[in-house]
Amino acid sequence: MRTTPRFVTHIGSRSPSGASWSPEETNFSIFSREAIAVELLLYETADCDEPMQVITLDIEQQRTFFSWHVAVKKLPVGTYYTWRVQKPDGSWWEILDPWARAVSDKKWQRSLAVQKACNGLRGIVIDLRHTPAHLPVKPKSLEGAIIYEVHVGGFTRHPTSGVKYPNTFKGLIEKIPYLKALGITHVELLPVMAFDEQDAPEGVINLGHENYWGYSPYGFYAPHPSYCATSDPVHEFRELVQALHDADIGVLLDVVFNHTSEGGNGGPTIHFKALLDDIFYHRTHDRLHYRDYTGCGNTINCNHPLVTHFLVHCLEYWVNEMGVDGFRFDLASVFTRGEDGEVLANPSLPWSIELSRSLINTPIIAEAWDAAGLYQVGSFPGTRWAEWNGRYRDVMRRFVRGDRGLVDEVATCMTGSSDLYADDHRLPSSSVNFITCHDGFTLWDLVSHNDKHNMANGEENRDGTNDNLSWNCGVEGVTDDPHVLALRRKQARNFMAILFLSQGVPMFLAGDEFLHSQNGNNNAWCQNNETSWLNWELSEANKEMLRFVRELSAFRHRHRCLARPRYLTGRIDVTRGIPDIAWHGLQLNEPLWHDPESQVLAFTLAGYAQGEEDLHVIINMSDQAIDAPLPVIAQRRWYLAMDTAAPSPNDIIEWKKQPLIKSETQPVQARSIVVCEARERSSLALRFGRPKSD
C-alpha cells in the first residue's frame, strides 16, 4: 500500500450522490445513517489486491446530514473505487457504491462478502459529459406498439447468431436489421442493470449454472458488465440505444426494484446492508429478519421517502443520460406495500414514478403481482400505468388448447380488457397482452408439453409453475409424427394471430417467431447455455412461421382498427355506416355468450383510418370445421386475408394476392382462424388498376 497520497483531496459536496467526474476534480458522495466512520479506496485496476490510496473522511467536515463526501483532484477517468464503512457494532465493510455509473467485471466471491467485503465489486469513475447527439429522444408511446421481449446475452450468444460481438450490447446492434424486418416497435430488454450471476442455490451453482435472467440487481445505475465488449459500458449502452432509435425502435428496460442480490439473513453485504439496512429493506418488527415478498430473501422498502427518491432518480438517470424510452417493473405490487408490509391505498413510489417530470411521457408497465400472493392486475395504483395482463394470457391459453365456454372472456380480452381498465379511465394500451414471456414455456413448448421438464435446473423439478394451461397436441415433447407437428404449428399460428388481432399492446418473446424451444423447461432462469440461447438456424428451418409473424406485424400496422386509442362501444361508426364492432357466433349477430360448450367467436371490426378496410374475424377452436356466414356491407366485397389452417404463404396472404370470396359463407377448419378484409369497389379499381365493374 502506498504511504503517500497520490491525489490531493478536499472536503467535497454531499450532492450529487455517486462519483461525479470533471477534469479538475471528482466529487464522491455516499449516504448512510448508520456509518460511524467512512473511507474512500482508490484502485488502479479491477483486480489488484491493494488500493493505491485510502482516503479517510473527517466526520466533522465531510459528513453533511447523513451524506459522506470528498473531492479528489485530477483523478483520471477509469479509476476503480470502493467505500469502506464502519457500522455501530464496530465492524468494517468494503462496499460497492450504489450510485456507481459503471462497475468492474471481475468475478467477485459472493461467499466471502458474507464475512467481510464485496470482494472485488468496484465502481468505475466515468465521464458522463459527452452524450450522443440524439440522446435522449421523446419516448415512443405504447399506442400502436408491438413489444419484443429480449435477453441481451441469449439473443446473440449461440454460435449461429453470426455476430462479431456475441452476448453483448454491440451484438444486439448487429441484429437491428432483423428486428426492423420483424416489424416490432419496442424491444423490452430483460435486466441490463448490473446483476449478480452467482445468486443461485448451491445445488444450481454446483451444476455449473448461474443467475442468467438477471433478476438479482446490485448496480442500479450501471450497465451489466458482462454485456460489454469494451471498458466503456456507458458509451456501449448509449450506442445501442442510439442505434435502435435510428431504426425507430424504442427501448424498454425490465427493472428489478423489488429486491436486491444481498438477499436475506446470511446473504452478502454489497452496499445497502452496510449503509442503511433498516431503511432500505423491509424488516420484521424485532429487526432480526428480512420480510420476503419476492421469493428472493429480501424486499426493498420502496415507500420510505429516501428509498423512493433513490429509485425514481435512478429511472430519471436512465431516461435523461442513457436515452431509455420506458420501463417494465418486475413484481411491481411490492411498490404498493408500506413500511409494515401492508398494502397502501396511495403508495408513494408508483405515484412518484408517474408524476416525475423526466418520466412524464415514458411508458411504465407493471407486472402487477408479487411472490406473496398480492395480485393487482386491473387495480394497480395510478392513472397511466400499463400492466402485463396475466388474465389475457391465461384465458387465451385455455381457449386455444380447447377449453369450452370462454367466448365471453375471450371477447373481453381481445377488445382491450375494458372491464379491468375502463372504469378508472385507462386506455386499451393499458393492457399489455402476451401469451408467452421469459417466465414459462416458449410458444413451441406451450404446444408441445403438458408438463414442465425442469430437472436440468438442479431443483428436482420443484421450480417453475405446474399450471401451464398448455396442450401437447397428443404427444409429450419431441416427436416425428407429421400430424402432431402440423397441429402444433397451426396452434402456434393461432396464438400469434389472436395476439396480433387483439386491442391493447401485443408483446411476444424473442425466438417465438421461429419456434425456439427450451425442451419443456418453463423456468430457465439459470440456463446460460443452448437451452436458452436462440439458435438462429431455426429462423431458416421454421421460415414459414417467421414469415407469418412478420406479415402479422405488417397487417397490424396497416390496420389501425386493431389498435384503437379508445374502447370499442358497438355504436354505429358514422363514417363507415356499420358498428365499430359487431359480435357473431355460428350465425351472424348471435354470439354464443351463454353457451357452456361454445368454442366459436366471430366479430366484424369497422376500419378506423380513412380508406382502411373493415375486418371480419372468425375464430374456431372446436374440433369441427364450420361454414361461417359473412356479413353484408354495402358497396364492399370480402377478400380472404388469413387462414391459420392453410399452408404458407396462404396462411397470411399479401394484400394484392388476396382472393375475392364469392360465396356468402367462408369455410373455417377445426382449430383455426380466418380473417377477411372488406374493400370498397372504387378502391379496388384504384389500387389494383382493374375496371370498377370487376
Joined together, the cell numbers standing for residue 41 give 479506496
Report the alpha-carbon distance of residue 680 to residue 272 in Å, rounded: 65
Return contacts of 565-570, CB within 8 angstroms, 24+ apart: 565/143, 565/427, 565/428, 565/429, 566/427, 566/428, 567/415, 567/416, 567/418, 567/422, 567/427, 567/428, 567/503, 568/415, 568/416, 568/503, 568/605
DSSP codes of every residue in 251-283: EEEEE--S--TT-STT---SSHHHH-HHHHB-B
Provide, for the chain, the percentages of residues in helix, strand and coil under a 3-state DSSP scheme, each rounded to the nearest 5.
25, 20, 55
Q: How far apart are CA 654 and CA 640, in angstroms?
A: 10
CA distance 607 to 624: 30
Question: Is residue 512 annotated as part of the catalytic site, yes or no?
Answer: no
Q: How many whole angstroms separate alpha carbon 93 and alpha carbon 115?
A: 9
- Residue 531's CB: how many other CB atoms inside 10 A? 17
CA angle 370, 372, 376 (to 5 degrees): 45
Quick one: cell of 272?
445497502
Nearest to 120 by CA among 112, 132, 130, 131: 112
Q: Is 666 helix (H, G, I), strand (E, B) or coil?
A: strand
Q: In the chain, what is the straight-line distance between the N-terminal and C-terminal CA atoms, in Å?
A: 90
Cβ neighbours of residue 295 closer than 8 Å, sequence gap 6 or more: 371
Q: Measured between alpha carbons, how far is 639 from 662 in angstroms, rounded to an integer?
A: 9
3-state secondary structure of 206: helix
Catalytic residue among 367, 409, 445, 677: 367
Strand partners, 54: 41
At 85, is the secondary structure helix, strand, or coil? strand
Q: How far is CA 204 from the centre of its chain?
A: 25
Radius of gyration of the chain (CA): 27
CB-CB contact of 475 with 484 (8 Å):
yes
User: Taken in order 105, 106, 111, 112, is the CA torsion positive or negative?
Assistant: negative
Query: Is 330 annotated in the active site?
Result: yes
> Packing angle between helix 543-558 and helix 482-500, nearest 10 degrees?
20
For residue 561, give the C-alpha cell: 382498427
What is the distance between the alpha carbons of residues 148 and 150, in angstroms, rounded to a whole number?
Answer: 6
Beta pairing partners, 52: none
Catalytic residue among 94, 196, 199, 330: 330
What is the C-alpha to C-alpha distance for residues 526 and 10, in angstroms, rounded to an integer? 46
Helix or strand or coil: residue 677? strand
Can you give the length of the chain in residues? 694
Residues 6+ apart with CB under 8 A from 632: none
CA gap 356, 327 in Å, rounded: 14
What is the full DSSP assignment across 30-75?
EE-SS-SEEEEEEESSSS-SS-SEEEEPPTTTSEETTEEEEEEETP
Active site positions, annotated: 330, 367
